[in-house]
Amino acid sequence: NRRLKDRSLGLYSISVGVLSNLAVLAVAGEYRAIYLVFCVTPFLSAAFKLTLRQVAGLLGLSQVGHLLVIAGLWLAGQPISVGYELALWLVLSVELLVVSQVSISVAAMRRHLLAAYGEAERLATADPLTGVLNRRALFDSIDVALRDPEPRKGDDTVLALIDLDHFKAINDTHGHDIGDQLLVAFTAAVRANIRSTDRFGRYGGDEFVLFLRGTTRELAMSVFERIQGALAAIQLPGLAKPPSASIGAITVFRGLSVDEAIRRAEAVLYEVKRNGRAHAPIVDGDK
């Protein structure tokens, strides 16, 4: 088993166990009833790992193999009591059917646990309103990306801090429901204009972080422009003019922490807002 890629009791290792037990059955002689004890063990292990189809396949292997071993012993001239062997086979069939019921129950519990774990993981990493990465998951994701090998030569890593313009005024004037709708529509617009490998999450309130790895400044700027265009196309009841956002972006170099990268992007964002512009050219992070 230690030679296998999957060292847990998987299909192949349990199959070896079933075949080993059949070998015991072939050499046990008049003590073949001991096979009843050994045969169940692999199936108890299978209940915690395998699918129902795989368990059924192993049951078939065990039962057909049992009959073939007995037939081989009979053809070899060994004294065989057909009634005794048939009774042994039937008892074993009942045992394995009971074990298969355990497998069904365990498999159902495993499916429910995996679904619950997936939902818990999603809730732990997603912003409850917009569904994008929350702050903790966003920082962890970027931190992992920053430890990856550098992009190919000529590519950049860009981090952008995005702030919705006049969001507090929208909330105060039109209510938090409209503000929430704007956040949801904005995140949907951003996700439609970025790659699946890009990291995008909510930094807090109406501020979001977009992390683009393996891109160029020109491509990153085109992404910002598409986001601005998609944001301007959002129509919500009561809004007199299309929403907009300010974007401060920097290039990120290896060794820069997430907190420091966001702090530098925040300084660029404040400069952008002071100048009344949607976004400025991407600034070198080391400057």
What distance in Å separates the CA atoms of residue 52 and residue 103, rounded to the nearest whole number?
7
Q: Please give the single-letter amino acid code of residue 186.
A: F
What distance in Å separates the CA atoms of residue 13 and residue 8, rounded to the nearest whole number?
8
CB neighbourhood size of 133 (10 A): 23
CA 236 to chain centre: 34
Q: Please give the single-letter amino acid code of residue 79.
A: P
DSSP string, 87-108: HHHHHHHHHHHHHHHHHHHHHH
Among candidate residues 143, 206, 259, 286, the one labeled active-site is 206
| Known catalytic residue at 206 | yes
What distance in Å separates the CA atoms of residue 80 and residue 78, rounded to the nearest whole number?
6
Tell the residue number behind the tokens 């998951």, with chain if given.
Answer: 137
Task: Kindly list the catalytic residues.
Answer: 206
